[in-house]
Chain A
Amino acid sequence: MPANHMLDIFYFAWVAERIGRRSEQVDGHYRDMTIADLLSHHAGSSPGHAAAFATPGKLRAALDQRFVPLDTLIGDATELAIFPPVTGG
């Protein structure tokens, strides 16, 4: 079994609003999980998480501050961010 792994998760825009927090730290066996796996695993944490993660197609992610698809393995990353598609400019 791989060692536990602390992962900082940051939420932005309506994802943060639905969850009711902007960040949290989770501890678990995430190395071999994809971001999508983690979201479905984590959706049961609260009704807010369930609401925020209900439609993964509307979510985007960054691992260690780089945009990645949701099917990316978490691997050794220490920072995950989950957010809607960006709308700057």
Chain B
Amino acid sequence: MRVVRVQPDPFDPGVELAALEALGGGAVASFTGLVRGDGGLVELELEHYPGMTEAALTQLAEEACARWPLAGVVIVHRVGPMQVGERIVLVGTASPHRAAALEACAFLIDRLKTGAPFWKRERFADGRREWVDARDSDDQAAARWHT
């Protein structure tokens, strides 16, 4: 099972993970990314490249499935405006064993951050709006999965 969705609407991780649990794999791992309220942030806006985004996420899911014995992968990423505390992204993996589920989940979120066309813009309480700069630490996290 491979599910890739890019959507403005909120999602329910319980529903998404239940679908992975129903595959009978024995292990499900997940990562949920939330909007942080650092520095007076009141809203986060996510822009993306329709068409390419879905293709890039599908390719990442396929890479994960080629690398680990996975029964299922779920990637859900929101776009548009989001408030502090809201969920931005969910990555879930199902496998017969925990190591594969956990490693594949870490691979997917690390690679998603540098390998899918999303851009974050922050809006602060004082009215400032700023595009988020890419971080070297994200490049390093993605690079550890290159073989």
Binding site for B on A (CB under 8 A): 10, 12-14, 62, 65-67, 81, 83-89
B89 — nearest CB in chain A belongs to which residue?
Answer: A89
Report the separation of the CA atoms of residues A83 and B55 in the bound assembly, to the nearest whole angstrom: 17
Kindly state the separation between the CA atoms of A26 and B112 in the bound complex, as whole angstroms: 31
- Chain A residue nearest to B59 (CB atoms) is A66
CA gap between A85 and B132 in the complex, in Å: 10
Q: How far is the CA of A62 from the CA of B77 in the complex (A)?
A: 20
Q: Which residues of chain B in 87-145 are interfacial with respect to chain A, using CB atoms and an 8 Å cutoff?
A: 88-89, 109, 112-121, 131-134, 138
Query: Which residue in B47, B51, B52, B134 is a CB contact (below 8 Å) of A85?
Result: B134
List, in ascending order, chain B residues with CB within 8 A of A14's CB: 131
Contacts of A81 in B (CB 8 A): 49, 52, 117
Cα distance A86–B116 when bound, in Å?
A: 7
- Residues of chain A with a CB closer than 8 A to B33's CB: 89
Interface residue tally for chain B (C-beta within 8 Å): 28
List A contacts of B46 (CB < 8 A).
Answer: 88
Cβ of A68 to closest chain B Cβ, rounded Å = 12
Q: How far is the CA of A38 from the CA of B119 in the complex (A)?
A: 23
Instruction: Tell which of B51, B119, B121, B131 touches A88, judged by Cβ atoms closer than 8 Å.
Output: B119
Contacts of A85 in B (CB 8 A): 114, 133-134
Residue of A nearest to B110 (CB): A89
In Å, the complex CA distance between A12 and B52 comes to: 13
Known: A10-B49, A83-B49. A88 touches B134 (CB 8 A): no
